[in-house]
Amino acid sequence: MTCTHTLTVRLTPTPAQATARTLVAAACTQRLVVLAAALVLGACSVLQPNLPPEEPIKPVPVPTVAKLPSVGLALGGGAARGFAHVGVLQVLDEAGIQLDLLAGTSAGSVVAVLYASGLSGAALEQAALGLNETTLADWMMPWGNRGMLRGAALAKYVNEQVKGTLLQAMPKPVGVLATQLNSGNPVLFQRGDAGEAVRASSAVPGVFMPVPIGGQEYVDGGLVAPVPVSFVKQMGAQLVIGVDISSAPSATPANDTLGLMLQTFSIMGQRLNGFELVGADVVVRPNLQHIGSANFAARKQAIAAGRTAMLAALPLLRRAIQTKTTWVPAN
C-alpha cells in the first residue's frame, strides 16, 4: 500500500519583506488614486463648454469740459499815453480773448470803465479820435486852490459815455483805483458814480483838485499802484494781464513846475511798478518813448503802439491761459 502525504510548507515573511510589500501596496494605491483623479478631471474638461475668456471691465469715461481761468486786465496810468490801452483792447477783441474783469489807474481807469460799460475796442477808438481834450480842461485860478483843474469835466465826459451807469451795474466787473489823501491808503471803487471815481483816480496832485467822496478826499491812484495788478487779483482774476504805459524818468532837467511834477511821478512810478508788475502773468509794454504824457495829438500813434505790443504778447498769453485751464466733469 502506497501512502501519499502532501507536505504544505508556509513561509513566514521576514519583517523586511513585510515592509517592502506594504510600501509596494501603498505606491500602487497612490498611483490608482492619481489615475482616477486624472480620469475625473479629463472627463470634466470634456463635459465643460468651451467658454470664451472673460473680458476685463473697462471704466466708463466721464465727460469733461474745459474750465478757463478768469482773465483780468490791469490798465496803468499815463495821461495821454493811455490811448495805447485802446489798441491793446482791440487786439484782445480780435483774438477772441474774453476778459472777465478790469481795473484801472488814472488814464487806465477811463478806458477800463468805458470798456466795462460795453464799448468794444473799435468803439473806443472812435470815441478817442473824436475826443476834444479842451472839453476836459475846466481850469481854475491856482492861487488859493490846491490844483489847476477841477476835474468835473472829466467826470461828466465819462458819465456821458457810459450813459450814467453805476460801477456796480456795468456789464463787466470793474475797479477804479484812487488814493485816500488823509491816510495814503489805496481805495478800489467798485460801486457808485463812475465819473466821480475816474475823476478821483486821475486827480494828479497839484494839477487836479482832490476829489471829495463820502466825507474823504481822494487823489491819483498812481501814488499807490500805477498798474493795479494786485487789485485785479483781489477782484478774483486767476490770470492777470498788466499794461504798463509809464515813461522812464527824463534825462532832461525839468524847466517848469508841471515838468517837475511829471518827472517826480515818473521816478515814483518806476519804483512802484517793480512791485506790482511782478504779480502779472503777462506784462504788455507799448513803445511810447516818443509820446509825452500831455501829447493828445499823438493818440493814433499811441493806439498803434498798443496794438503792436499786444500782438507780440499774444503767444505768451495763449500759453498762460492753456497752462491755467483745468478739466472738470460735465454737468
Where in the sequence numbering do the catalytic residues fall? Answer: 106, 220
- CA atoms of 34 and 47, how far apart (whole Å): 20
Residue (of 170, 191, 50, 48) closest to 116 by Cα position: 170
Query: Buried b vs exposed e over 86-104: b needs ≥16 C-beta within 10 Å?
Result: bbbbbbbbeeebebbbbbb
C-alpha to C-alpha distances, 42 to 46, 50, 126, 153, nearest whole angstrom? 6, 14, 93, 103
List C-alpha distances in Å: 177 to 199, 273, 283, 284: 10, 15, 19, 19
Collapsing DSSP states into helix, strand and coil, what is residue 261?
helix
Place of cell 499815453: 81
Segment holding 190, helix H or strand E: none
Task: Please give the angle made by the CA atoms of 29, 35 and 38, to the nearest 5 degrees.
Answer: 145
Helical H runs in 96-188? 107-116, 121-129, 152-161
| Grid coordinates of 236 | 478774483
Q: Are strands 101-105 and 71-75 parallel, antiparallel or unpaired?
A: parallel
Provide the terminal-to-terminal Cα distance of the chain, rounded to the nearest Å. Answer: 122
Let me know: does 89 contact 115? Beta carbons within 8 Å: yes
Percentages helix, strand, coil for the chain (3-state, rounded to 5) are 45, 15, 40
Q: Which residues contact 303 (CB under 8 A, 6 or more apart)?
A: 83, 84, 86, 87, 90, 125, 128
Strand partners, 101: 72
**Radius of gyration of the CA atoms of the chain, in A:** 43
